[in-house]
Structure 1
Amino acid sequence: MHSINNFLNVSIGYLIKNWIAIVSLIFSYVTWYKNRKIITFDFNPNILLADPNSIICFTPSGEVESYEYCFVTSLSVVNPSNQDIGFFDLRAFNPETNINFQMVTSNTFPPDIQDKSLYQITDDTKLVKLDYPERKFGVFKANSFTKIDIVLVVSDKDNFDNITVNFKIPKKLHFSFLRDRFALTSRKIYAHKGFNYIIPGGSVKQIHSLREQQIQSENAKDNTQQQSE
């Protein structure tokens, strides 16, 4: 009992003498906890092959410029912290070759197009504006929600079965097994977020199938018009 009283007296005395340091430590922890870099991200689980030439933009004269074949998906990010969080090395690539796909950004637009708006023509012929990234790096604002539409321009000659979308945030990883195994630069030491999409049957098969559906649809419209005349 005597030893317990001595322990309590010593502990109370320590707290009284060092209360300023203890309060400062608690305050520092609370501040760090509130400002720690934590984001919530959700990749759209689906990636879809858009209808041919349905991804469009407009020239200064009002003419339509289109991309023939594009895969489209999206990424949603919530930054609940009180500070902005940067991201970089946003890329979409073939994980079998580690070669990037062409991702639409403001920098990939033709230089004569001043209006950098990008649209998708839907099945009901409506225009939907896409929130594509200006660059492959940027900032998730504090206490914000951000949606990024990922638009990948592809060829009907290059076949692939997977697409991986990935980006990094400035948070160092101390364990090598957590690092991005596809990164080729020293920035591999930073935390990365990603998602792998499987393309059933391969991209070429999907493009050919979509092309056949479009031909059949156009033929059906022509037949309907001929019958009504």
Structure 2
Amino acid sequence: MFQFVKDYILPIITVTVSFSSLLISLITLHSNRKRLDVEIENNLDDVNDIYFNFLNFTNSSSDLNFGNGKICFLKIVNPSPKDIAFFDLRLIDLKTNKPIFFLTKAILELTNSNNQKLFYNSKGTLSKINIPDSNYGIFKANSFTRLDLAFYPKEKTKVLISFKVAISSLKNNKEAGVRKKFKYYRKEFIIP
């Protein structure tokens, strides 16, 4: 009887435990991988005057005005259990291949209004602007992040919005000068 258990049952138990360990390792590897769900909305909104509060909005007394601009809305879900950094957030005029000015909290430090909440007139309604801290940052683990890119093209043009994330990629980013081996997201817009 002991010989039967040793020859037949023990190897089955060993293989079952090994297979279970492999299966658990693969499930853990799959659930811990870095991934993002990124949506760059198709529609751009107009932004001219920027307000710090509702009173200024109702009095049509703008606090900031950088000219006629547009806002692009980015929605990012990070369902992974790890924070993921983004970097090289940029807006490029594809006609001139030059960067386009866009609002960040770092820019607002120059106007001494970096701690202010920002609002704009969206078709007669006061809407909050969620500007990024800088052209780099972090998408926190298990979170939703919305970035509103308020930018100011000088003329009618074609605009590229792109950013990279700290997830390795097998293929090179053909648009990047440096840091080519990272996953990137991009979208082009025609500004009429």
**TM superposition score normalised by structure 2:** 0.79
- How many positions carry a matched residue from both structures? 178
Partner SS, residue 113 of structure 1? coil
Distance in 2 between the 1:66 and 1:11 partners? 80
Higher relative contact order by CA 8 Å / sep ≥ 6: 1 or 2? 2
Note the alpha carbon deviations across 1:80-112, whole angstroms, 9 max, x for none.
Answer: 222222211111112344321111001111253
**Larger helix proportion, structure 1 or 2?**
1
Counterpart position of 2:42:
45
C-alpha deviation, 1:21, in angstroms: 4.2
**1:168 matched residue in structure 2:** 164
* Secondary structure, counterpart of 2:180 in structure 1: helix
**Equivalence map 1:85-164=2 (5 Å):** 85-109=84-108, 110-124=110-124, 126-155=125-154, 159-164=155-160
Does the 8 Å contact 1:162/1:196 carry over to 2? yes
Residues 102 and 31 of structure 1: CA distance in aligned 2, closer, same or farther (over 3 Å): same
Task: Return the offset for 1:30.
Answer: 1.0
Alignment match, 1:3: none
Taking a change above 3 Å as real, the CA distance of residues 36 and 12 of structure 1, as seen in their structure-2 partners, is farther
Distance 1:94 1:64 in 2: 27
The Cα shift of 1:193 comes to 0.7
In percent, how many aligned pairs have the same letter?
Answer: 27
Structure 2: where are the runs of 5+ without partners? 1-6, 54-60
Task: Mark the CA change 1:11 to 1:33 in structure 2 (over 3 Å): closer, same or farther.
Answer: farther
1:116 maps to a residue whose letter is Q
Q: Could you tell me which of 181, 184, 187 is aligned with 1:189?
A: 181
What CA distance in whole angstroms lies between the structure 2 residues aligned with 1:45 and 1:32?
Answer: 34
Distance 2:148 2:101 in 1: 14
Query: Structure 1 residues 30, 63: closer, same or farther in 2, change over 3 A?
Result: same
CA contact (8 A) 2:91 2:160 kept: yes
Change (3 A) 1:111 1:149: same
- Give the alignment partner of residue 50 of structure 2, picking from 24, 39, 55: 55
Aligned to 1:199: 191
Which residue identity lines up with residue 189 of structure 2 in the other structure? Answer: Y
The within-5 A match list for 1:63-82 is 64-82=63-81
Do the aligned residues in 2 keep the contact of 1:93 with 1:101 (CA within 8 Å)?
yes
Structure 2 Cα separation of the partners of residues 98 and 24 of structure 1: 53
Rounded to whole Å, the distance in 1 between the matches of 2:126 and 2:24 is: 51
SS across alignment from 2:138: strand
The answer on whether the counterparts of 2:92 and 2:99 sit within 8 Å (CA) in structure 1 is yes
| Matched-pair contact (CA < 8 Å) for 1:40–1:77 | yes
Q: Distance in 1 between matches of 2:168 and 2:161?
A: 20
Larger Rg: 1
User: Normalized against structure 1, the TM-score is what?
Assistant: 0.67
* Equivalent pair of 1:101/1:154 in contact (CA under 8 Å): yes
Residues 184 and 68 (structure 1), Cα distance of their counterparts in 2 relative to 1, 3 Å cut: same
Amino acid at match of 1:67: F
